[in-house]
Amino acid sequence: MSQGDTPELDHDADHLAEGDERYLLRNKRQIRGLLRQLLDQRAIVTMHVAG
């Protein structure tokens, strides 16, 4: 492999560790919920740092 090349990911291969499946998002509702939580956390941290 030359410099700058990245290995191809085999999306069919099961490369998840045993407990990782609990972190998978399976539908749009879960994705929206996660994004909302991340935005809320960012707002809290920004508010706290700003004082």
d(CA 43, CA 27): 25
d(CA 6, CA 44): 37
The two structure tokens encoding residue 5: 């090349």
pLDDT value of residue 8: 65
- Rounded to the nearest 10°, the torsion over CA 32, 33, 34, 40 is 110
pLDDT value of residue 34: 92
- Domain coordinates of the chain in residue numbers? 25-50
pLDDT value of residue 30: 94
**pLDDT tens by residue, 1-51:** 456 666 665 555 566 677 888 888 899 999 999 999 998 888 777 766 655
pLDDT value of residue 51: 56
